[in-house]
Structure 1
Amino acid sequence: MSQYQQLLLIIHLALRHSPAIDHAAALAKASGARLHIATLIPALKLLSLLEEGDREKARARYLQDHRDWLEDQSKLLRGRGIEVTTEVAWADDMEQDILDHVKELQPDLLIKEVQHESALKRAFFTPLDWHLLRHCPIPVYLVGGGGHALPRKVVAAVDASGTEPANSELNERIIQQATNLALQCDAELHLLYACDLSGVYLADMGGLALSDITKELRTTEEQSFIKLAGLYGVPSDRRHFVLGHPVSALSDFANEQQVDVIVMGRVQYHGLEKLLGSTTEHILYQVPCSVLAV
């Protein structure tokens, strides 16, 4: 049975050559899922300068132009055997409108191209993608600039530290989503743990030197990762234990290994519960591939 039944793709028609269309179509084709493409257009402020009658005509022409283009795209997809429906509509509140579509359609995945925002803008405004990562109730597939349309290498990025039930449950969801995607696409599935030991401070712990403490911690974390990988039957050549901050470690790994999709959790736990949103969110601007956030 297919892992996916319904996919929801949100596109911005200003990016008519968005790779997100190719990615969504490839996944729909491989899984036999229905694909709904929704184009939600922010209100055009320039139209407010027109007289009411002219404004309505301009709005109608604008929508029709985009409907015609989208219908042409959908005909090409139907020619490939993909069941696709489309819509073009104005959006007064982009985040809420997307979440309303998710609630109404109940898709298995929300697919959208990564919307790159400058660091300065992110300092003052929360990007739309970050809002979706925080509030969307289903997995969010954010398409990056690189990678194959149909993934060939999928990496499940887990946190093997700690034994809290919530952390174990999140790892299970990450691995399950990665497994589903890999099975559907006939892709390689890899398991990765980016272990950050930077929290080890110079201190006297029972007479151990800092290098001994670090070595002991690394061994403990690596053994936890090996145990997790063994629990899910991941072959040894597809297990990757790397040291470093998760953002830089994942970015380097994705570049070196030509990864197509990284599957990550939106919340992780290190002792006290805390959001890992910042790591997952910043990954969007660092890795050359797509991110599937669980």
Structure 2
Amino acid sequence: MTVFNHVLVVLDPTSSAQKALERALALIQRQGGKLTAFLSVYEFSYEMTTLLSGEERESMKHAVIKDRELWVNEYLKQPRAQGIQIDIKVVWHNRPFEAVVKAVLEDHYDLVIKGTHDHDVLKSMIFTPTDWHILRKCPCPVMLVKDHAWPEQGNIIAAVNAGSEQTHHKSLNQRVIETAQQMASLLNAQVHLVNAYPGSPVNIAIEIPEFNPQEYNSTMQRHHKDAVMALAQAHHIPVECSHVLEGMPEDVIPKLAQTLDAEMVIIGTIGRTGLSAAIIGNTAEHVIDRLDCDVLALKPANFICPLEKS
């Protein structure tokens, strides 16, 4: 079974350990498909070489690209010796996330795999790292890789928003669960559904004396539990693997992932951009930094890439 036919793996020129490449190779060995190793390069000194002619500048650029291609080829010697076919794509671009998204739009990759780092919370709020740009703007699924291994008989978490009646949330729930089941089949893992629901709003309980927080919590829990059970039944997921937990997703999902020692969390992301992203952020982004396992983020079926529109 091939879940992703054409995979783009983003290499990290600052690291000797290419964990994204290792993960991509493990996936391709299990499912088949095409793999392309991708690297975006840019020398800021290029902009300062005004004394050089246009031809000399181009020669400098091609020399840098050629050097990086040789570096990539070194990393690919061993898997190629094992018979794995891997293409190389090295591009000149001063914005790595745009280079990745452009490659996806041009060559129609159906999965991007990239290693991620622990982001400083404050910096994540002020500056948007390359990971976040790719997560928000890439039209295909994005797998952000951490250090957790893919063990046999492991656990994969499908994070759903079962309580919502909105069409795009329902559609995303289906995509998340179906992808989780496909990945679980490849990795010989068990799928777990998780749904977070909010507790009683404290300010309402204070301002409205007749408000009953226990009744509210009970009603909210029942609503989400019924919705999750319906999804579990529709997808033949055992009741004991369905988790309805009170709290924010960024708290609930990492705790469950740690409890289950999950190897992957699959989550839907609406790809919020602009001011709303700066102020509110995306649930997937809040979750990722608190996990020590891989995250596979899926977009809605009708997602339109901002770069495609411009």
Q: Normalising to structure 2: TM-score of the pair?
A: 0.82
Matched, 1:239 2:238: no
Measured after TM superposition, the shift of residue 133 of structure 1 is: 1.8
Contact 2:267–2:297 under 8 Å retained in 1: yes
Matched, 1:259 2:259: no
Q: Alignment length, in residue pairs?
A: 288
Structure 2 partner of 1:194: 196
Structure 1 partner of 2:124: 122
Structure 2 partner of 1:32: 32
Cα separation, 2, equivalents of 1:211 and 1:189: 31
Structure 1 partner of 2:288: 284
What amino acid is aligned across from residue 280 of structure 1 in structure 2? A
Contact 2:195–2:224 under 8 Å retained in 1: no
> Which aligned pairs between 1:59-78 and structure 2 lie closer than 5 A?
62-78=64-80
Structure 1 partner of 2:212: 209
RMSD, matched Cα: 2.8
Measured after TM superposition, the shift of residue 197 of structure 1 is: 1.8
Cα separation, 1, equivalents of 2:96 and 2:67: 20
What amino acid is aligned across from residue 235 of structure 1 in structure 2? P
Cα deviation code 1:147-187 (max 9, x no counterpart): 32889321100011132322211111111221222222222
Aligned to 2:16, the other structure's residue is in SS state: coil
| Percent identity between the two aligned chains | 25
Cα separation, 2, equivalents of 1:277 and 1:155: 22
Of the structure 1 ranges 96-105 and 183-192, higher mean CA displacement relative to structure 2 is found in: 183-192
Aligned to 1:39, the other structure's residue is in SS state: strand
Cα separation, 2, equivalents of 1:180 and 1:108: 15
Measured after TM superposition, the shift of residue 130 of structure 1 is: 1.6
Structure 2 vs 1, CA of residues 79 and 47 (structure 1 numbering), >3 Å: closer, same or farther? same
Structure 2 partner of 1:102: 104
Measured after TM superposition, the shift of residue 120 of structure 1 is: 3.6
Of the structure 1 ranges 208-217 and 14-23, higher mean CA displacement relative to structure 2 is found in: 208-217
What amino acid is aligned across from residue 38 of structure 1 in structure 2? F
Structure 2 vs 1, CA of residues 226 and 69 (structure 1 numbering), >3 Å: closer, same or farther? same
Give the structure with the larger strand fraction: 1
> Which aligned pairs between 1:128-277 and structure 2 lie closer than 5 A?
128-148=130-150, 152-199=154-201, 201-202=204-205, 209-267=212-270, 277=281
Structure 2 vs 1, CA of residues 217 and 78 (structure 1 numbering), >3 Å: closer, same or farther? same
Which structure 2 segments of 5+ residues have no match?
A: 299-310
Of the structure 1 ranges 147-156 and 158-167, higher mean CA displacement relative to structure 2 is found in: 147-156
Aligned to 1:52, the other structure's residue is in SS state: coil
Structure 2 vs 1, CA of residues 115 and 57 (structure 1 numbering), >3 Å: closer, same or farther? farther
Of the structure 1 ranges 232-241 and 111-120, higher mean CA displacement relative to structure 2 is found in: 111-120
Cα separation, 1, equivalents of 2:160 and 2:125: 28
Cα separation, 2, equivalents of 1:47 and 1:166: 44
Measured after TM superposition, the shift of residue 68 of structure 1 is: 2.2
Which structure 1 segments of 5+ residues have no match?
A: 269-273
Of the structure 1 ranges 43-52 and 247-256, higher mean CA displacement relative to structure 2 is found in: 43-52
Measured after TM superposition, the shift of residue 208 of structure 1 is: 6.2
Aligned to 1:172, the other structure's residue is in SS state: helix
Structure 2 partner of 1:271: none
What amino acid is aligned across from residue 293 of structure 1 in structure 2? A
Matched, 1:293 2:303: no
